[in-house]
Amino acid sequence: MGVILLSALTLALAVFALTQRRLLWGVIGVGAHSLALAGVYLFLAAPDVALTQAAVGFGLVTFIYLLALRRTGKLIVVAEEMPPLLYQDGQRVAGLEWEILSQFGRHVHQDVQVLWVPRKEIPRLLRAGEANVGAGGYLPRSEEAVLLTRPLLSTRMVTVRCTPGPLGAVEGDRGEDYLPPDGLTYEDHGELASALGAGEVGGAVADLLHVRQWVLSGEIQPVQTTEEQETSFRFAVAPGEEDISRALDAFLAQLEETGELARLVRRHVG
């Protein structure tokens, strides 16, 4: 009787492990399955095998799976906060890029974790292997040796002037390329906007989406805008993670084909 009950439990736990969408629960299911299997061996008068099964299946193998999960089970995204593409909304992350990344995470069975970092840190973290994807209104620069996905949303670099004075840009951002030698750099777009509002700098080089945000929120009143080169927001992928880059590219292409991307852009950006 005990054997039959434990065998049924073993079977149920195996099905449980197979049907989990979250890998962590799958690993826990496999561990519990090993333990139940050890029980079956015990009832079948094979305590030697039960001991080995419990120590190896439940202890060591579960641990090795957990180690593998630490790297493969989580998609680490480093990003600069940038509404409406990617931003913290209370306890949760929101935005256009978040919707794409979280859908992609479900697609590849990985949890997505977003870490907020200054813009200039993104390529360094990706190259060091500390993160998988760079996001948050990522504008590619030629000297950053990272993989890039297909364009997500096209935009344009613009120079806005409010008062006479030096120009400002965000350190590491595409805007730094257009900065004259006397230009000032800031850690993120929020600091740049407040410097612009305080009159510390007379103008700024940034992408159209940021400038639009600043104008709409009344933070700056531009006197003159000069349009620079056209560019587009993309995701940056760590070099050496060609698999992620290819999968993300395919996922974006699929979103584009089904019109889902256009719908998301309309909803978040307008």
Residues near another protein, by CB under 8 A:
47-48, 50-52, 55-56, 59-60, 63-64, 67-68, 70-72, 129
Query: At residue 132, what are phi and psi to the nearest 5 degrees?
Result: -100, -40
- Would you state the structure tokens that stand for residue 236, as one six-digit string? 């940056």
Closest C-alpha among 255, 87, 234 to residue 146: 234
Closer CB to another protein, 77 or 255, in the complex: 77
DSSP code of 85? T
Closer CB to another protein, 71 or 267, in the complex: 71
Q: How far is 94 from 246, CA to CA, in rounded Å?
A: 24
Nearest approach in angstroms of CB 10 to another protein is 20
Closer CB to another protein, 63 or 199, in the complex: 63
Q: How far is 146 from 164, CA to CA, in rounded Å?
A: 36
Nearest approach in angstroms of CB 62 to another protein is 10
> Contact 22/69 with Cβ under 8 angstroms?
no
> Contact 177/251 with Cβ under 8 angstroms?
no
Nearest approach in angstroms of CB 112 to another protein is 17
Nearest approach in angstroms of CB 111 to another protein is 14
Nearest approach in angstroms of CB 189 to another protein is 31
Closer CB to another protein, 71 or 266, in the complex: 71
Q: How far is 255 from 262, CA to CA, in rounded Å?
A: 8
Q: Token match 């390329």: residue?
A: 177
Distance, C-alpha 32 to centroid of its chain: 32
Closer CB to another protein, 52 or 254, in the complex: 52
